[in-house]
Amino acid sequence: MNSEIALILTQDGLVNGAIYALLALALILVFTVTRVIFVPQGEFVTYGALTFAALRQGYVPSVVLLLIIVGLLAAALEVRTAFQGPSFRKRILPAILYAGYPLLLAFLLYYVTGAPKGAAMQVIATLAIVAPLGPILWRIVFQPMASAPVLVLLIAAVALHLVLTGVGLLAFGPEGARTQPLFDAGFSLGVISISAQSIATIGASLVLIAVLFWAFNFTLRGKALRATAVNSVGARLVGVRPEMAATICFSLAGLVGAISGILISAITTIYYDTGLLIALKGFIGAIIGALVSYPLGAVGALMVGLIESFSSFWASAFKEALLFGLIVPILLWLSIARPMTDERE
Amino acid sequence: MSKSGRTVVWIAAAVLIGASGPLLPEFYVTLLNYIGLYALVALGLVVLTGVSGITSFGQAAFVGIGAYTTTVVTVTFGLSPWLGLVAGLVVSFVVALVLGAITLRLSGHYLPLGTICWSVSLYYVFGNMAELGGQLGVNGIPPITILGWPLDTGRSMYYLIWLCTLGAMLLTDNVLRSRVGRAMRALKYNGEMAESFGVNGSRMKLLVFVYAAVLAALSGWLYAHLLRFVNPAPFGINMSIEYLFMAVVGGAGYVWGAVLGSAVITILKELLQDILPSILGRNGNFEIIAFGALIILLLQANRDKGFGLLFELFDRKETGSAGANRLPKPMRVKPADPLLAARTVTRTFGGLVAVNKVTFDVRPASIVAVIGPNGAGKSTLFSLLTRLLDLNGGEVHFGGHRIDRLAPHELVRRGISRSYQHVRLVPDRTVLENVMLGGYCRTSRGPFAAAIGLGFEQELQLQGEAEAQLKRLGLLAHKDELAGNLSLGQQRLVEIARALASAPSLLLLDEPAAGLRHHEKEELARLLGELRSEGMTILLVEHDMRFVMTLADNIVVLNFGKMLAEGVPREVRANPVVLEAYLGKSVR
């Protein structure tokens, strides 16, 4: 290997790593606030990528139907609680939102605008379709068992991952998709060429991370989320509704997943079942951050990206084996650095 | 179900399997073979997840280790499949030991995440090593031979598979009904509590993890010699997920749940794969969607209990009396004076000094009460004495030996036992089983002895001991009820019975009278006095002043982590500093 190849590999690694870092942040966010280890995060990436690819080819993917179905389910659940509980009007509003938004969006996409033209509109449409799946799926899958142990929530998350993979095959078909880079330009820096797309990817990750950081530290909602993460009972006592906190988290997770999908679709071919592997790479980053530390998680994810790109050069057949085998020394290190402190969840 | 009832069920199952072998059509033999193979893996998960509360998404990888090891042994080296079995079990044992040792020390969710990752890794190793046939796999695995008789048909393998599965289930069932099973359940419910009754939590978890891995490897060995062909596909993450679903559907902690779960999932999958496309008129992996949705609904309905409630119906039992059987009295050194000595014990949380240089003695055969307003540090002090928290400074001596460096599970063997302020009984087990956990440290019957039914006398002695303690607390009539169904006051008394079952020389009681009615308090005070006259030493935290003042020989008063006073009740009651802490400063 010469320095030229090393630089190219580093660039690849950083670009992938930036996406994994985004996912790691979303995973840590969702876990700390809701205790859900959100395995289906990867499906948001594939849904984002494949929806975007479909829109670029000029048609509206049938995943919109999924959004309508789960939206109606969530609305039905809200209506049920509305009839049981005292605050009918408070409950009926979310029901209208859960059912109305997907229908309105579908109406717009199918009958008014058609598949949007222009990259910017396509990005917005992708986010509008995919991101709301986050809070809606939380409402129908996790909220009914929000107090269950972490392990039960994890099993449910894995079951949801299976459902979404199956639906992904139905909605997008078995063919993979790869999109043209949004930014075609590129420039040379010495011996290597740097594409504008990779700059944009890293830039978008940095901006998102910065925005999240700002929101968490300097806004009331962000502080409420952090309070829930530290002590959910205490947060509830001072008026933070856990449903609100969870809805925000899953919305962010959906948004981050969809954005990652749009970014990654220009780098690599995405299939309906690629999600798990991508999410797991984010997980390795998150685990390096011990599922609680954002900066460590982001650094870990960057490391994953670099190791991935270098190991694909040295031993491409064993790339994934090496990468996921990496978890063993990481866990060893964690078990020495952080001996059993918290037995109960 | 009674013991003889259980024996009948096992024999009936064995006869049914044996007799149905020649009669079943080929299709059902194949189906049952798979159900048996899967049940073996699910059985490991029943113990791991259902009983012990830890979980693994990597069981398929252990199946793969078993299958590929025997493939290498028999195909590459041309050796006997039996050597392949031994090698597979050894390899899976070592791998599980290493992985478990580094993962199980971390908190609960690292294990499932870790197992997902490394099983994905192993899958790619299987798929990419030319020596293992890559994605195409390896053909020509020889059949297993027994006494020169080759098991080369599905029907002949049927007997071996179900012999292994039923055998493993029987052995596992025996273990789950022994002290080891009780320890696992306590560990799932509350790790700290289990440790304080002598359960070495990390070792127990490692044992369970390794056992589940070895069962999976056994299944892999059978699988390789049934199909006579291996490729990586059945050892991927999706199969691991399916195994876990089988265990979840089968229910919380019953060995028959493994068979039920694997049967339900296997048959459902067959049906869904046939029916759904014809209903919906197109192809696709609909079964995965239906499956995932069903699992989510099941989890929402009753968490991870699955259909385990069905088994509970059959498991409602009335235990006989163990009669006069007792455990031998533990041999302990003659109690030193003082029995317990706290020396400048200190604990800080960040800037807050919760317990500040507390020094006091507890003399043998006395009752010492720790009192103080809320937040005085009483419970923290208890946690320090029982090693649930580390000291920041000071020393604790018990019977003349320093104990503030011991692991929590070692204390009870030295004679320190406790009850909790917030009751920590395993709510879905019987009162008797809960009290028997107290005697865990006085018994030694290991999992292997329990599996093959050795040393049952000890179990009977332990039961007798537990019954004697329950009788003493007037709860013998409730012994077969679920602990969670008793009133709070009764549950507190069960906690004391459990502590007494460990035959402690020092009994630590955290607010034992809270939630008791008046006459129950009097009864408790009488019992504690009686224990004292028998030579037991008692240290208690209590808010009921009348209870404390009439009972205690000595009182330690804490306020804001500091020791305010120490002395006999009369002195403490007259102490102006104590009065001020409780009632406020005099206005005069």
User: Does residue A344 register a pLDDT over 50?
Assistant: no
The answer to whether the beta carbons of residues B362 and B340 sit under 8 Å apart is yes
pLDDT of residue A76: 92
> Whose CA is closest to A320, among B386, B453, B121?
B121
- CA distance to B325, B332, B400, B531, per residue, from B504 (Å): 19, 10, 16, 11
φ, ψ of residue B398 in degrees (nearest 5): -130, 125
Query: Is A271:A265 a contact under the CB 8 Å cutoff?
Result: no
Other Cβ atoms less than 10 A from the Cβ of B15: the count is 10
In A, residues 270-309, which contact B (CB 8 Å cutoff)? 276-277, 280, 283-284, 287, 291
pLDDT at B200 over 80: yes
Mean pLDDT lowest for which of A222-231, A331-340, B570-579?
Answer: A331-340
Cβ pair B482, B427 in contact under 8 A: yes
Q: How far apart are CA A225 and CA A217, in angstroms?
A: 10
Residues in A touching B109 (Cβ below 8 Å):
37, 150-151, 154, 291, 345
- What does A59-90 look like in DSSP terms, one character per residue? ---THHHHHHHHHHHHHHHHHHHHHHSS-HHH
Cβ–Cβ < 8 Å for B488, B425: no
Check whether A342 has a pLDDT greater than 60.
no
| A141 contacts on B by Cβ (under 8 Å) | 296
pTM, two decimal places: 0.89
Nearest residue of A to residue B124, measured between CA atoms: A321
B205/B216 Cα distance (integer angstroms): 17
Q: What is the pLDDT of residues B414-439, one digit of tens each?
A: 899 999 888 899 988 899 999 999 99
Question: What are the boundaries of each domain within chain A?
Answer: 3-59+115-178+193-337
Of B426, B556, B542, B437, nearest to B491 by C-alpha is B426
**Exposure class string for A294-310: b at 16+ Cβ within 10 A, else e:** bebbbbbbbbbbbbbbb
Least CA distance to A345: which residue of chain B? B108
Asked whether the predicted pLDDT for residue B214 surpasses 90, the reply is yes
**Banded model confidence at residue A180, pLDDT cuts 50, 70, 90:** confident
Distance linking the first and last C-alpha atoms of chain A: 47
**Fold classified for B336-415+504-588:** Rossmann fold (3.40.50)
| Average pLDDT of the segment spanning B335-344 | 86
Please indicate whether, in this complex, the C-beta atoms of B113 and A287 are within 8 angstroms of each other: yes
C-alpha span between A194 and A186 (Å, rounded): 6
Measured between alpha carbons, how far is residue B545 from residues A192, B436, B513, B571 in Å?
Answer: 81, 32, 11, 14
Q: Give the Cα separation of B385 and B418 in Å (integer).
A: 10
Instruction: Return phi, psi of residue B110, to 5°.
Output: -70, -35
Whats the size of chain B, residue-wise? 588
A343–B109: do the CB atoms touch at under 8 Å?
no
Confidence of residue B108 (pLDDT cuts 50, 70, 90): low
Cβ atoms of B503 and B330 within 8 Å: the answer is yes
Chain A CA closest to residue B121: A321
pLDDT score of B516: 85
Whether residue B372 has pLDDT greater than 90: no
Quick check: helix, strand or coil at residue B310?
A: helix
Strands B393-398 and B401-402: antiparallel
How far the first Cα of chain B sits from its last, in Å, is: 71
Domain limits of chain B?
3-315, 336-415+504-588, 427-502
In this predicted model, what pLDDT tens digit does every residue of B125-178 receive, in sequence order? 888 888 888 888 898 899 999 988 899 888 999 999 999 999 999 999 999 989
Residues 6 or more apart whose Cβ sits within 8 Å of residue A189: none
pLDDT digits (tens, 9 = 90+) for B109-119: 788 888 888 88
Taking the C-alpha atoms of residue A82 and residue A68, their distance in angstroms, rounded to an integer, is 20
A 29-48 residues with CB below 8 A of B?
37
User: Do the Cβ atoms of B249 and B265 come closer than 8 Å?
Assistant: yes
CA separation (Å) from A15 to A210, A254, A275, A300?
Answer: 17, 20, 17, 14
Give alpha helix (H) positions in B197-254. Answer: 201-227, 237-250
Q: Measured between alpha carbons, how far is A308 from A122 in angstroms, rounded to an integer?
A: 30
CB-CB neighbors (< 8 A) of B112 in chain A: 37, 151, 154
Q: Is A145 on the interface with B (CB under 8 A)?
A: yes
Q: How close is the nearest chain B Cα to the Cα of A190, in Å? A: 37
Cβ-based neighbour number of residue A80 at 10 Å? 12
Contact across the interface for A163 and B49, Cβ inside 8 Å: no
Please name the residue of chain A whose CA is at the shortest distance from the CA of residue B130. A317
Cβ of B120 within 8 Å of Cβ of A320? The answer is yes
- Cβ neighbours, 10 Å, residue A275: 27
Q: How far apart are CA B518 and CA B531, in angstroms?
A: 20
Q: Tokens 């090891």 appear where?
A: B69
Distance CA B147, CA B169 (A): 25
Q: How far apart are CA A256 and CA A166, in angstroms?
A: 22
CB-CB under 8 Å, A343 with B292: no
Strands A186-189 and A192-195, how do they pair? Answer: antiparallel
**Residue B356 CB neighbour total at 10 angstroms:** 18
- Burial (CB count within 10 angstroms: exposed 0-12, middle 13-18, buried 19+), residue B82: middle
The number of C-beta contacts closer than 8 angstroms across A and B is 152
Phi and psi (nearest 5°) for B181?
-65, -40
pLDDT digits (tens, 9 = 90+) for B442-499: 888 888 888 888 888 888 999 999 999 999 988 999 999 999 999 888 899 999 999 9
A320 touches chain B (CB under 8 A): yes
Asked whether A200 and A288 are in contact (CB, 8 A), the reply is no
Residues of chain B found within 8 Å of residue A342, distances taken between Cβ atoms: 107
Query: Nearest Cα to B104, choosing from B116, B93, B119, B115?
Result: B115
CATH of the domain spanning A3-59+115-178+193-337, picked from 1.10.150, 3.30.10, 2.60.40, 1.10.3470: 1.10.3470
Q: For the segment A46-99, what is each residue's pLDDT rounded down to a tens digit?
A: 999 999 999 999 889 989 999 999 999 999 998 888 787 776 777 788 889 999
* Chain B residue closest in CA terms to A138: B296
B556: three-class secondary structure by DSSP: strand
φ, ψ of residue A37 in degrees (nearest 5): -85, 105
Q: What is the mean pLDDT of residues A174-178?
A: 86
> Which residue from A minimizes the CA distance to B53?
A151
Q: CA–CA separation, B538 vs B551, rounded Å?
A: 11
Is there a contact between B248 and A155 if contact means CB atoms under 8 Å apart?
A: yes
- Mean pLDDT over B385-406 rounds to 89
ipTM: 0.90
Contact: B120, A291; criterion CB under 8 Å: no
Residue B46 has pLDDT above 80, yes or no: yes
Give the chain B residue nearest A334 (alpha carbons): B106
**DSSP classification of residue B342:** E
Alpha-carbon distance of B435 to B585, in angstroms, equals 46
Share of chain A above pLDDT 70, in %: 94
CB atoms within 10 A of CB B406: 16
pLDDT of residue A191: 65
Report the pLDDT value the prediction gives residue A118, as an integer from 0 to 100.
Answer: 86
| B291 compared with B84, residue with greater pLDDT | B84
- B284 or B234: which leads in pLDDT: B234
Token reading at B317: 């039992």
Neighbouring CB atoms inside 10 A of A260's CB total: 31
> Structure tokens of B50?
């259902």
pLDDT digits (tens, 9 = 90+) for A126-174: 999 999 999 999 999 999 998 888 888 998 999 999 999 999 998 998 8
For the stretch B541-561, pLDDT in tens is 988 888 888 899 999 998 888
pLDDT at A31 over 60: yes
Interface contact flag, A338 B110, Cβ < 8 Å = no
Bridge partners of B509? B540
The helix (run of H) or strand (run of E) holding residue B360 is: strand B352-362
A114: left (phi over 0), alpha (psi -120 to 50) or beta: left
Strand B144-146 with B149-151, pairing: antiparallel
Q: Is A207 on the interface with B (CB under 8 A)?
A: no
> Which residues lie below 8 Å from residue B16, measured CB to CB, with a gap of 6+?
none
Q: Pick from B109, B245, B285: which is nearest to A154 by CB?
A: B109
> Is the Cβ pair B102, A152 closer than 8 Å?
no
For the domain bounded by B3-315, which CATH number is listed? 1.10.3470
